[in-house]
């Protein structure tokens, strides 16, 4: 192998960037060149020249690698820094302002039956300590002697027998009747049509609707209820001159409204 051939192999070896031991053909070629230059050289000298040649080759390879890296620099990826996300902003809860309640207007006096009694005339008994209202179309018929009975009527008459078929006569009686008989219809010739619970002046009682024809008396249909207050029986009797309860039934709302206005004052 000629010297120029060895030089060519060294260039190719350096171009490939090799750093390991040179291939055998290159090493043999170098030995032959050295041997051709002088047979008196010792093997140790040959080995030193070979190592020197290898060092030269490695230097050339290192220079080639440095040039390649300079032309194609390695990109350094910066480390990724985690960015903490901002916490969401919490809006304050709105303050609720209470709406002022509207002023409740007082309602007129209405009985359970739905009748407005606020404009009715009022009767007050100073002797028996009670108050009662009656419709403006009714009449105050006076009081009995010694004052234990009070009368009202929806017709201007002097007595119940003077009423026509639409008349209603109210008698309020105060006495010492036993509680068991207070506001209870008479037994002789009486037919009870209905008995309903009722409250008068806050006192529970029974309201009776009945027909009666006592011997020697006129036939009538009545509505009766009574309560006991401070040992006295207060009886409220609505009488008609009819043989049926049609007048009572058609005016039942007004009659119960009258009973709903009763108040005791003592």
pLDDT in tens, 207-265: 999 998 766 666 789 999 999 999 999 999 999 998 889 999 999 999 999 999 999 99
Distance of alpha carbon 109 from alpha carbon 84, whole angstroms: 73
| Residues 81-114: tens digit of each pLDDT | 545 445 555 555 555 554 444 444 444 455 555 7
Distance of alpha carbon 253 from alpha carbon 241, whole angstroms: 19
Distance of alpha carbon 38 from alpha carbon 36, whole angstroms: 6
- List, in order of start, the domains of the chain with CATH numbers: 3-71 (no CATH), 122-264 (3.40.1000.10)
Neighbours of 193 (CB within 10 A): 15
**Token pair for residue 93?**
């809860």
> What pLDDT is stored for residue 220 in this prediction?
86
Question: Of the given ranges (146-150, 151-155, 210-214, 241-245), which has the lowest mean pLDDT?
Answer: 210-214
| Residues 2-56: tens digit of each pLDDT | 556 656 665 665 556 544 555 556 556 555 554 554 444 444 454 555 455 555 5
Distance of alpha carbon 222 from alpha carbon 207, whole angstroms: 11
When computed from its CA atoms, the radius of gyration of the chain, rounded to whole angstroms, is: 66
Neighbours of 207 (CB within 10 A): 21
Strands (E), the chain: 122-125, 130-133, 139-143, 149-153, 169-175, 190-200, 203-212, 220-229, 232-239, 263-264
**Token pair for residue 214?**
């006592």
Beta strands across the sheet bearing 263-264: 122-125, 130-133, 263-264
Model pTM score: 0.59
- Which residue in this structure is represented by tokens 């007048």? 247
- Which residue in this structure is represented by tokens 């690698």? 65
């Amino acid at each position: 192998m000629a010297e120029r051939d060895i030089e060519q192999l060294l260039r190719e070896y350096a171009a490939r960037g090799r750093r390991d031991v040179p291939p055998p053909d290159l090493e043999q070629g170098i030995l032959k060149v050295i041997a051709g230059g002088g047979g008196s050289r010792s093997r140790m000298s040959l080995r030193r020249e070979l190592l020197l040649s290898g060092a030269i080759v490695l230097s050339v390879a290192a220079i080639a690698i440095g040039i390649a890296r300079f032309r194609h620099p390695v990109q350094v990826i910066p480390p990724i820094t985690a960015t903490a996300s901002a916490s969401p902003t919490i809006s304050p809860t709105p303050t609720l302002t209470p709406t002022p309640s509207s002023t409740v207007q007082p309602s007129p006096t209405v009985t359970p039956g739905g009748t407005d009694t606020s404009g009715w005339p009022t009767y007050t008994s100073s002797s028996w300590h009670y108050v009662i209202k009656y419709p403006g179309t009714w009449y105050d018929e006076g009081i009995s002697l010694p004052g234990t009975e009070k009368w009202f009527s929806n017709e201007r008459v002097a007595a119940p027998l003077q009423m026509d078929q639409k008349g209603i006569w109210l008698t309020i009686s105060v006495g010492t009747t036993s509680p068991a008989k207070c506001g209870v219809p008479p037994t002789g010739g009486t037919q009870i049509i209905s008995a309903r619970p009722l409250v008068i002046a806050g006192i529970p009682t029974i309201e009776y609707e009945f027909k009666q024809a006592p011997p020697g008396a006129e036939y009538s249909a009545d509505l009766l209820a009574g309560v006991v207050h401070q040992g006295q029986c207060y009886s409220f009797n609505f009488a008609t001159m009819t043989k049926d309860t049609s007048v009572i039934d058609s005016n039942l709302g007004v009659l119960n409204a009258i009973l709903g206005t009763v108040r005791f004052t003592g």
